[in-house]
Amino acid sequence: MTQLLDGNALAYEFRKEITTEVNQLKKAGYDAPHLAAVLVGEDPASQAYVRNKVKDCQNVGFRSSLEQLPHNASQEELLELIHRLNRYTSVDGFIVQLPLPPHIDAQEVILAIHPDKDVDGFHPMNVGKMALDIETFLPATPSGILSLLKRYLIDTQGKHTVIIGRSAIVGKPMSILMARKALPGNSTVTLAHSFTPDVIKFTRQADIVITALGVPGFLKADMIRKNAVVIDVGVTRVKDNSSSRGYRLAGDVDFESVYGKASYLTPVPGGVGPLTRAMLLKNTLWAVKRRKF
């Protein structure tokens, strides 16, 4: 029997808790938390992500603003906008939606974000704090996965976690968080990537498999052991003429075959994605609380 991890339900609970806290802040005379999002270019998936983040803000009573730059915006224009957002005292936190166009130096952009407003947790100062177990913003997707593991009481201690993909947004921070001396955590971690020979050798030994690859249907039933926990972070748009949108979202996991063999499995959509969004809201609320209280 495979139990699906319901990201929508848990994200709904988080949004409800956040709404209550926002109402308390407002009652106490404070402004609602303000999240700003920067979007460079017209990538449809990035536009959709950012639109959803703005919608989430409205949902919980946050203020939000969307700063859009054309795809050919210069590095200087983008840095200027970031410096402005750093200065605006009315903005509590902001994100720069990734990926950025290839002519933009993303590392320089991330370095320019003030660490106290870096609600994505991407600035080296915050990554360093995370690695050293100093309280800070945790990147939203890994943090959302931890919240799912915790909510479903999934044991991670002493387990072997295999993470596929070493991106700065998911794989790398996830490997640090699963190995940390805490729960969820205390796991033995293998971080597999494009140069890992015979990735199956590792996934077959794993108690927990986390895929963040962006290759639809990559993880098949014969690659996992029975009752493994499988967390699917992949979200790829796949052409689908039967859908009114012309595409559907596909995860890295071959759902049909893995369902029935895994003990727990996150669906796509409705698994990790909603929690990524909820954790961004949590980080923004924390940006406010740590400054005011």
Q: Segment near ligand GUN (CB under 6 A), from 73-81, 94-102, 106-114, 204-212?
A: 94-102
Other Cβ atoms within 10 Å of 185 Cβ, number: 18
Instruction: Give the three-class secondary structure for 265.
Output: strand
Q: Cβ distance 63 to 284 under 8 Å?
A: no
* Catalytic one of 56, 92, 120, 252: 120
Q: What is the nearest approach in angstroms of ligand GUN to the Cβ of residue 235?
A: 9
| Dihedral sign of CA atoms 144, 146, 149, 152 in order | negative
Q: What is the nearest approach in angstroms of ligand GUN to the Cβ of residue 182?
A: 22
- For ligand GUN, the closer of residues 138 and 223 by Cβ is 138
Q: What is the nearest approach in angstroms of ligand GUN to the Cβ of residue 37?
A: 8
Name the residue type at position 181.
Answer: K
Tell me the residue ranges of DSSP E strands in the chain: 3-4, 34-40, 63-69, 93-96, 160-164, 188-192, 208-211, 229-232, 236-239, 247-250, 264-265
Q: Which residue has the tokens 């968080």?
A: 177
To which H or E segment does residue 198 belong? none
Q: Segment near ligand GUN (CB under 6 A), from 73-81, 93-101, 220-228, 281-289?
A: 93-101
CA distance 291 to 90: 13
* Catalytic one of 92, 97, 232, 282: 97
Residue 97 within binding range of ligand GUN, rule CB under 6 A: yes
Binding mask 233-262 for ligand GUN (x = CB under 6 A): ------------------------------
Residue 18 within binding range of ligand GUN, rule CB under 6 A: no
Q: Segment near ligand GUN (CB under 6 A), from 58-66, 68-76, 92-100, 182-190?
A: 92-100
Q: Cβ distance 119 to 280 under 8 Å?
A: yes
Residue 95 within binding range of ligand GUN, rule CB under 6 A: yes
- For ligand GUN, the closer of residues 99 and 260 by Cβ is 99
* 124 φψ region: left (φ > 0), alpha (ψ -120 to 50), beta (else): alpha
Q: What is the nearest approach in angstroms of ligand GUN to the Cβ of residue 276?
A: 6
Q: What is the nearest approach in angstroms of ligand GUN to the Cβ of residue 270?
A: 17
Residue 112 within binding range of ligand GUN, rule CB under 6 A: no
CA distance 218 to 126: 32
Residues recognised as catalytic: 53, 97, 120
**Contacting residues toward ligand GUN, per CB under 6 A:** 95-98, 120, 140-141, 169, 276
